[in-house]
């Protein structure tokens, strides 16, 4: 069994952080089973998808009162609900598929999930700083917390190495079969 590489210090050079790992460093056969950070990150993405369903239930429950306050007709209310349900369900399905792909070792899915969570965190921060939007459990605290945990889990060195190793081993396997 190959020893895991040492962790990098806080003061690592940017060049060292951006350098690509060698094949033996990320080979899944050398790395062994799926890292717990990757599994935990996929589970957190599924929880984020479940949060989307819970948000949709809360939106549907609050819609009649909000529609009355802003004077929406019944047809406009139904149209709004249809649009929101369609977009939210598409988002939930996308998150569930991405979580599954991350669990299977897709580096592209891992990177897309991290980019999405970064955008979500940034949007919540901008809303807070620019318009003073409150961050509470009922608004964005739960989603921001999940996004931060997802980002931490999927950006771990082990998750990166295992996902990259999966991609490289598939690429090497296909090039060996063509030779």
> 106-115, pLDDT tens digit by residue?
999 999 999 9
5 located within any domain: no
- What is the extent of the structural domain holding 72? 33-155
pTM value is 0.71
17 located within any domain: no
171 located within any domain: no
Contact by Cβ (8 Å): 38, 162: yes
pLDDT digits (tens, 9 = 90+) for 31-59: 578 889 999 999 999 999 998 898 888 88
pLDDT the model gives residue 30: 44
pLDDT the model gives residue 98: 95
146 located within any domain: yes
147 located within any domain: yes
The DSSP secondary-structure symbol of 88 reads: H
62 located within any domain: yes
Helix/strand/coil (H, E, C) string of 35-84? Answer: CHHHHHHHHHHHHHHHHHHHHHHHHHHHHHHHHHHCCCCHHHHHHHHHHH
Per-residue confidence at 12, pLDDT binned at 50, 70, 90? low
**CA 119 and chain centroid, separation:** 10
Find the range with the poorest average confidence among 3-7, 33-37, 102-106, 175-179. Answer: 175-179
Between the alpha carbon of residue 128 and those of residues 119, 123, 134, 143, 148, the distances in Å are 14, 9, 6, 14, 16
73 located within any domain: yes
Give burial (CB, 10 Å; 0-12/13-18/19+) of 152: middle
User: Token pair 């999940």 is at which residue?
Assistant: 146
1 located within any domain: no
- Nearest Cα to Cα of residue 52 among 8, 19, 96: 96
- How many separate domains does the chain show? 1
């Amino acid at each position: 069994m190959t020893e895991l590489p040492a962790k990098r210090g806080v003061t690592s050079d940017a060049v060292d952080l951006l350098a690509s790992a060698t094949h033996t460093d990320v080979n899944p056969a050398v790395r062994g089973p799926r890292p717990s950070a990757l599994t935990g990150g996929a589970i957190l993405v599924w929880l984020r998808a479940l949060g989307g369903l819970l948000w949709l239930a809360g939106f549907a429950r609050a819609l009649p009162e909000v529609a009355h306050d802003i004077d929406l007709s019944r047809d406009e209310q139904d149209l709004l609900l249809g649009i929101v349900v369609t977009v939210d369900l598409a988002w939930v399905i996308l998150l569930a598929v991405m979580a599954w792909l991350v669990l299977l070792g897709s580096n592209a899915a891992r990177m897309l999930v991290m980019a999405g969570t970064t955008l979500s965190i940034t949007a919540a921060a901008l809303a807070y700083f620019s318009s003073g939007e409150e961050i509470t459990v009922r608004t964005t605290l739960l989603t921001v917390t999940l996004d931060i945990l997802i980002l931490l889990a999927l950006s771990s060195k082990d998750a990166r190495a295992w996902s990259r190793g999966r991609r490289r081993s598939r690429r090497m396997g296909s090039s060996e079969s063509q030779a």
